[in-house]
Structure 1
Amino acid sequence: MTQTTETAPAAAPQPADTPPARRTRVHRAWFVAAVAFVTIIGAAAFRSVPGLLIDPLHEEFDWSRGTIGAAVSVNLALYGLTAPFAAALMDRFGIRRVVAVALTVIALGSGLTVWMDSAWQLILCWGLLVGLGSGSMALAFAATVTNRWFTERRGLVSGILTAASASGQLIFLPLLSWIVEKHDWRPAAVTVSLAALAVVPFVWLLLRDHPADVGVEPYGATEFVPKPAPVTGAARRTLGVLSRAVRTGPFWLLAGAFAICGASTNGLIQTHFVPAAHDHGMPIQAAASLLAVIGVFDVVGTVASGWFTDRFEARRLLAVYYALRGVSLLFLPMLLAPNVHVPMVFFIVFYGLDWVATVPPTLALCREHYGDDSAIVFGWVLASHQVGAAVVAFAGGVARDVFGSYDVVWYASGALCAAAALMSLVIRRRATPVAVAVAV
């Protein structure tokens, strides 16, 4: 047999500092997104605990629900306020280092709670340490991964990474509620600590900071993007971005609506649903299981919201999400009962689909209006989300102490969601979206 040799056409010359991109069947960006997903799941373990521990801590230490709610509010506030600085630190030191340190701090704070005997220790461990650690693992982390590794499918990816928190809740809530009910709250705290530590080597070995680290272009990009130099002055840059953003109307509308989002999810349902259901005679494990079901449908709703965000106008999506959430909260006081019934299951499914469906369109609006600074701007918007959550986590506990029920909190939150829907519609569409560099 005669072997024929053909001369291939000459390849186009590449710049000297641009290594050839390695083509793979599945782009490396999807593996990085998978690592980020699993990492956020590990960090979400702690966020499953607060609602489970309110009654056990109240019974053991005789602390008021307002006192316990204050510790939760510190945690939620720091979770948000740390996020924009963490996004800037990731630009300075890299994603991998910041996330590994954050997980270690979460493990330390959760583990130390087993020796506490005073309320200030609860605020220190549960509020300060875990708040700082989880804030560095917040959605600004998801925004940074999305902006660096993807130029296409950003809405879908941000939805998937946002859903990771719900997946963590789904995995850990039934387990932790069983541990609390059958053993004690301390083994549950140790479980959270070990879960966070277990993710650290996974992050260190598999997570990469930038596509250039592995010689590929971002997903959807047509050319290789060199890795930018580390950005110094993280705090100065973070505050500078905030200074510019507060001079624009969209920032205040996004931040205000997202504060209400946090108040009606993390601050209200995640913190107070289990004790509120227990007030009506429902066992803690049953109520925790319902909260876990919210996590199941949250995954579906958030990924679907990311898909919608790639195709529909983000501000209209936000208005619909907030309006539907507000209506559902108005019905909740009538649904709480000793047993799980069909209307309650319908509420859980409905609320789960809407839980953090607001994140992909909010991220999209930040990218549209703030371009390269969008991850840090979103970090500040997320800070408002957590401040809103912190206020309601504390106010909900105080309202329960004063009124003997949570009804007034459900109704007030429903009304606030209606306001958030109107705020979303007021955001003007930018005629020319600000470009987002893939090397952010």
Structure 2
Amino acid sequence: MNKNVRGWTVTFAGTGINLALGVLYTWSVFAAALTEQLAWSKTAASLPYTVACAVFALMMVPGGRLQDRFGPRWVATVGGLFAGGGLILSSLTDSLFILILTFGIIAGIGIGLGYSAATPAAVKWFPPQKKGLISGIVVAGFGLASLYIAPLTNFLIGNFGVKSAFRIEGLIFLFAIVALSQVLAVPLAPTPSAAPSSRQTGPASSTSVPPQAATSLNVSPSSSAPAAKADFTWQEMLKDSRFYLLWVMFAAGATAGLMIIGQLSTITKLQTGVSWGFAMVALLAIFNAGGRVLAGWLSDRIGRSWTMRIFFSLQGLNMLAFTLYSSPALIALGAIMTGLSYGSLLSLFPSATYDFFGTKNGGVNYGLVFTAWGVGGVFGPLMAGAVVDLTNSYFYAYLISASLCLVAAFLTIFLKSGPLALEKA
């Protein structure tokens, strides 16, 4: 098969896997049913989701390392077995503790393994100047999943009950993920424009990025994304200040985005008095997916740093504006801006990780960066809930989120392609 065709086949298989793994984003539908049909408290119904988010983020590290060592096919296959199996096992219990184990831990492990394998497998088929676009396409599936899984879950719960919904979706996603995983593969040899595999100081090859183009991620609009000058191990990456910059920025953006995603229905009701939460969540999901592709494409052209600066600034201003949104139309605007900005993170940060640290160990390296998402996923919703409980308003939660995003926008000026760039800036 032609290498370009094979690369796109792997890309769309990865997107399909993420379309199934995105069941995580539809937990609110299950949570509502658990409170209504099984008389669970809202706090109890949120615990399996919180645990799943944390396990998902933590599993990105071993999942990425396994993917780098054994290849994406087997890792994604095991991920499908865990994700689907966790949902099926969730159909057998009424116990909160068991559901935390089956959905939170078992399904969370599967989501982490599958997600960690899909993007690195796809980007290795393409030259550096397409890493952003390819990353965006693959991860768009995760953001778009709630558009079809939420109504499917609602239909299954309404007609068969919450337990049957877990079982049916578990079977569907198990077989879908395992089947699509068999398509995942990496090239047998580096693509012509792939980055060197070791730190050599000899003359650059004809496909290398010129030294002047590799001094910063702030490339000109006509420039392609810079190739990494070496393939870093995870130990080497942890000695580089750029890792910590990326981690802090990712955590800041994830805190703001996941706070709104987790609270949007409540925000809509509280600030407008209208129960349009489902429509707002669907709107956000569309732009969440679109933001991943748009930011990936844009960053391939103007550079990761400039694109991050744009979207962090947009999200910061949007968080400030949320304090004034008081109509469905304005909340819809806020959902669109949140979706675009949050979605951008999921293509910009893997792409930047591959730019800085190479693709050879990209799975484990991005897994470590992705732990920032887990921190944001826990801190954002908990912080918002605490603020609302104390003040009956999201005002201070918006201010905290806006501050984090604007600080992250400022930190982008320190992103350079050379090692330990923060100290040298």
Q: What TM-score bracket applies, with the shorter chain setting the length?
A: 0.7 to 0.9
CA shift at 1:295, angstroms? 2.2
Aligned to 2:223: none
CA distance in 1, matches of 2:295, 2:109: 28
Contact 2:84 2:169 in 1 (8 A): yes
1:294/1:191 Cα in 2 relative to 1: closer, same or farther (>3 Å)? Answer: farther
1:176-225 superposed Cα distances (whole Å, 9 cap, x missing partner): 345556765444433431331231452254x142233xxxx666659xx9
Matched, 1:274 2:265: yes
> Match for 2:315 among 325, 329, 342?
325
Aligned to 1:83: 60
CA shift at 1:87, angstroms? 1.4
Aligned to 1:296: 286
CA shift at 1:168, angstroms? 1.5
1:120/1:113 Cα in 2 relative to 1: closer, same or farther (>3 Å)? Answer: same
CA distance in 1, matches of 2:45, 2:234: 31
1:221/1:320 Cα in 2 relative to 1: closer, same or farther (>3 Å)? Answer: closer
Matched, 1:250 2:226: no
> Match for 1:145 among 117, 121, 124?
121
Matched, 1:358 2:345: yes
Aligned to 1:368: 355
CA shift at 1:161, angstroms? 0.8
> Match for 1:392 among 358, 362, 380?
380
CA distance in 2, matches of 1:183, 1:55: 15
Alignment of 1:397-436 (within 5 A): 397-430=385-418
Aligned to 1:230: none
More displaced 10-residue stretch of structure 1: 244-253 or 173-182: 173-182
TM-score normalised per structure 1: 0.77
One-letter identity of the residue aligned with 1:260 = A
CA distance in 1, matches of 2:399, 2:99: 30
Matched, 1:107 2:84: yes
Aligned to 2:336: 349
Alignment of 1:20-419 (within 5 A): 23=2, 27-44=5-22, 46-60=23-37, 63-138=40-115, 140-152=116-128, 153-180=130-157, 184-205=161-182, 207-212=183-188, 241-265=233-257, 267-278=258-269, 282-283=274-275, 286-335=276-325, 341-371=328-358, 372-419=360-407
CA shift at 1:364, angstroms? 3.2
1:400/1:126 Cα in 2 relative to 1: closer, same or farther (>3 Å)? Answer: farther
Contact 1:174 1:289 in 2 (8 A): no
CA distance in 2, matches of 1:336, 1:180: 32
CA distance in 2, matches of 1:316, 1:193: 41
Contact 1:301 1:352 in 2 (8 A): yes
CA shift at 1:61, angstroms? 5.0
3-state SS of paired residue (1:428): coil
Unaligned runs of 5+ in 1: 1-21, 226-239, 434-440
One-letter identity of the residue aligned with 2:282 = A
Contact 2:249 2:408 in 1 (8 A): yes
1:429/1:218 Cα in 2 relative to 1: closer, same or farther (>3 Å)? Answer: closer
One-letter identity of the residue aligned with 1:325 = Q
1:372-393 superposed Cα distances (whole Å, 9 cap, x missing partner): 3333221111111112212223
1:343/1:110 Cα in 2 relative to 1: closer, same or farther (>3 Å)? Answer: same
1:270-324 superposed Cα distances (whole Å, 9 cap, x missing partner): 32223443556544xx422321222222333221211111111211211221121
Greater Rg by CA: 1
1:188/1:332 Cα in 2 relative to 1: closer, same or farther (>3 Å)? Answer: farther
Aligned to 1:7: none
1:23/1:110 Cα in 2 relative to 1: closer, same or farther (>3 Å)? Answer: closer
More displaced 10-residue stretch of structure 1: 174-183 or 123-132: 174-183
Contact 2:16 2:180 in 1 (8 A): no
Unaligned runs of 5+ in 2: 198-231
Number of matched pairs: 382
Contact 1:52 1:288 in 2 (8 A): no
CA distance in 2, matches of 1:181, 1:335: 33
CA distance in 2, matches of 1:403, 1:195: 43
3-state SS of paired residue (1:117): coil
Contact 2:76 2:118 in 1 (8 A): no
Contact 2:121 2:184 in 1 (8 A): no
Contact 2:63 2:363 in 1 (8 A): no
3-state SS of paired residue (1:137): helix
One-letter identity of the residue aligned with 1:288 = F
Contact 2:285 2:339 in 1 (8 A): yes
